């Protein structure tokens, strides 16, 4: 592992030498070709960081041994002593050890948050430090666990420097996690023959054909079709597209804790930042807001079932993910239900008229009522 880390460092040193500033970065890549290749080299090495070492039964890159349970998983990620365990103990029945010293929590501690009829698994994780992605502390295990979550709660200490957030983001980015972003709007399809066909839908601002050609050649993708749909796509976006099996697009909520210890002005500014919530576990302030924001971000959908001739059962909801279909609802009820499925009747926001008769492909909305009619 040390080898990979050192190789990455070497590459970054080389990058620094060739990049006088951000503005000339792409230009240099264009002129010389070589600096551009550094990007793809680094991306490949970083992907290796999370893979278990050959021969190791469970490499340092695997997450903690906590099985997923409930309807969604939220990971608490942050520097030591920001209040992750305090927060877990507040919102779940689980008690995770809290103390004023760093690295109180040494492994993943799962708790269950019950909200909106759903059970949400909350993973309290050890604190991470700068260099976590490269193997410092339990950083790689923590980040691997975060990579399995549906939502990352980045817990930050409101009394600490603003740069803490950027540092953490960099650690997560380094292993392929992309926060609050969509996959790049670039189509890439490997082919058996025919060379490279590169097309831009609009004049690209940061890319050109030669750059993409060089990168693809470096990845030994000599036969493929590329369509860049986004004029703002960058080299990093293009590499993300090539490396899409190693990328994970996860929502992140930035949660500033300890607001009991900062000025009102500062608090006001923090609270206005996008994807941000503020709280004080100590004073029990804002905790419920954080939970509500989590619920919104997860976009879980509650579906109530109804038997023919009987009122719907509103006491217990089926929980499915945003974008789920009647087929997913059937699977939640019983593994083999869809085999005897004839049609479903739907009342609620997803129905054009009520009840609407629909097939397995119909997409449900939050709080729909569904009646499954079997053959
Ligand atoms: N002032 C203040 N202190 C807090 C607040 N929440 C937690 N603390 C204190 O911060 C310290 C660290 O809390 P923990 O919950 O152990 O922090 P952690 O992030 O789990 O720490 P590690 O597991 O070591 O990474 C403890 O002394 C808490 O009492 C808060 O809202 N305000
Ligand atoms: K602590
Ligand atoms: Mg802790």
Q: Is 363 found in the same domain as 321?
A: yes
Task: Quote the ligand 3 centre to 279 CA distance (angstroms).
Answer: 17
SS3 call for 84: helix
Task: Quote the ligand 3 centre to 270 CA distance (angstroms).
Answer: 23
In a domain, 54, yes or no: no
Task: Quote the ligand 2 centre to 344 CA distance (angstroms).
Answer: 51
In a domain, 66, yes or no: no
In a domain, 88, yes or no: yes
**Domain end call among 212, 228, 246:** 246
In a domain, 67, yes or no: no
Q: Which atom of ligand 1 is least distant from the CA of 101?
A: 24
Q: Is 156 found in the same domain as 123?
A: yes
Measured in degrees and rounded to the nearest 5, phi and psi for residue 350 equal -85, -10
Judge whether 259 and 278 are in contact, CB under 8 Å.
Answer: yes
Ligand 1, CB within 6 Å, residue ranges = 78, 80-86, 98-100, 102-105, 126-127, 257-258, 260-261, 280-282
Q: Is 270 found in the same domain as 138?
A: yes
Residue nearest to atom 16 of ligand 1 (CA): 98
Q: Is 89 found in the same domain as 233?
A: no
Residues of the domain holding 273: 72-181+248-298
Q: Which atom of ligand 1 is least distant from the CA of 106?
A: 23
- The domain total for the chain is 3
Q: Is 275 found in the same domain as 145?
A: yes
In a domain, 57, yes or no: no
In a domain, 90, yes or no: yes
Q: Which atom of ligand 1 is least distant from the CA of 97?
A: 16
Task: Quote the ligand 1 centre to 98 CA distance (angstroms).
Answer: 6
Task: Kindly report the CATH number assigned to the domain that includes residue 252.
Answer: 3.40.50.300
pLDDT below 70 — which residues of the chain?
1-2, 18-36, 49-63
The per-residue pLDDT for 159 is: 96
Q: Is 232 found in the same domain as 257?
A: no
The per-residue pLDDT for 18 is: 65
Q: Is 275 found in the same domain as 176?
A: yes
Q: Which atom of ligand 1 is least distant from the CA of 279?
A: 31
Residue nearest to atom 2 of ligand 1 (CA): 258
- How many whole angstroms from its chain centre is CA 286? 24
Q: Which atom of ligand 1 is least distant from the CA of 155?
A: 19
In a domain, 64, yes or no: no
In a domain, 288, yes or no: yes
Spatial separation of the C-alpha atoms in residues 67 and 65, rounded to whole Å:
6
Spatial separation of the C-alpha atoms in residues 25 and 35, rounded to whole Å:
9
The per-residue pLDDT for 31 is: 39
Q: Ligand 1, residues 64, 79, 83, 153: which to mutate, most atoms within 8 A of Cβ? A: 83
Residue nearest to atom 9 of ligand 1 (CA): 83
Tell me which residue has tokens 């994807």.
Answer: 275
Task: Quote the ligand 3 centre to 79 CA distance (angstroms).
Answer: 10
Q: Is 163 found in the same domain as 22?
A: no
Work out the end-to-end distance of the chain between its first and last CA atoms, rounded to an integer number of angstroms.
57
Spatial separation of the C-alpha atoms in residues 161 and 158, rounded to whole Å:
8
Ligand with the closest atom to the CA of 90? 1
Task: Kindly report the CATH number assigned to the domain that includes residue 354.
Answer: 3.10.20.30
Q: Is 173 found in the same domain as 197?
A: no
ipTM of this model? 0.99
For residues 205-241, b (16+ Cβ closer than 10 Å) or e, as one string? Answer: ebbeeebbbbbbebeeeeebebebebeebbbebbbbb
Task: Quote the ligand 1 centre to 352 CA distance (angstroms).
Answer: 50
Q: Is 257 found in the same domain as 169?
A: yes
**Domain end call among 298, 328, 363:** 298
Q: Which atom of ligand 1 is least distant from the CA of 78?
A: 19
Task: Quote the ligand 1 centre to 79 CA distance (angstroms).
Answer: 11
Q: Is 129 found in the same domain as 262?
A: yes
Q: Is 212 found in the same domain as 159?
A: no
Q: 319 to each of 72, 214, 290, how far by Cα in Å?
A: 10, 46, 20
Task: Quote the ligand 1 centre to 178 CA distance (angstroms).
Answer: 27
């Amino acid at each position: 592992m040390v080898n990979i880390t050192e190789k990455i460092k070497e590459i970054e040193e080389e990058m620094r030498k060739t990049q006088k500033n951000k503005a000339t970065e792409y230009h240099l890549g264009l002129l010389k070709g070589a600096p551009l290749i550094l990007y793809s080299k680094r991306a490949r090495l970083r992907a290796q960081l999370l893979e278990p070492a050959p021969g190791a039964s469970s490499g340092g890159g695997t997450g903690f041994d906590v099985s997923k349970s409930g309807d969604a998983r939220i990971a608490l990620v942050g520097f030591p002593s920001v209040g992750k365990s305090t927060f877990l103990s507040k919102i779940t029945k689980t008690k995770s050890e809290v103390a004023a010293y760093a690295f109180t929590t040494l492994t993943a501690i799962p708790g269950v948050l019950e909200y909106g009829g759903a059970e949400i698994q909350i993973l309290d994780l050890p604190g991470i430090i700068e260099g976590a992605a490269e193997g410092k502390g339990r950083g790689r295990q923590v980040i691997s666990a975060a990579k399995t979550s549906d939502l990352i709660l980045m817990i930050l200490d409101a009394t600490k420097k603003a740069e803490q957030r950027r540092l953490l983001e960099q650690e997560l980015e380094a292993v392929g996690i992309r926060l609050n972003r969509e996959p790049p709007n670039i189509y890439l399809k490997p082919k058996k023959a025919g060379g490279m066909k590169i097309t831009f839908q609009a004049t690209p601002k940061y890319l050109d054909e030669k750059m993409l050609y060089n990168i693809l050649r470096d990845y030994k993708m000599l036969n493929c079709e590329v369509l860049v749909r986004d004029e703002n796509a960058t080299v990093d976006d293009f590499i993300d597209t090539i490396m899409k099996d190693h990328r994970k697009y996860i929502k992140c909520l930035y949660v500033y804790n300890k607001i009991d210890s900062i000025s009102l002005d500062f608090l006001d500014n923090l609270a206005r930042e996008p994807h941000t919530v503020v709280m004080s576990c100590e004073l029990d302030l804002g905790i419920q807001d954080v939970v509500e924001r989590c619920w919104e971000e997860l976009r879980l959908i509650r579906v109530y079932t109804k038997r023919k001739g009987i009122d719907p059962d509103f006491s217990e909801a089926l929980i499915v993910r945003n974008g789920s279909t009647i087929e997913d609802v059937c699977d939640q009820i019983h593994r083999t239900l869809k085999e005897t499925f004839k049609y479903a009747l739907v009342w609620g926001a997803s129905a054009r008229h009520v009840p609407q008769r629909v097939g397995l492909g119909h997409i449900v909305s939050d709080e729909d009522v569904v009646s499954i009619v079997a053959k």
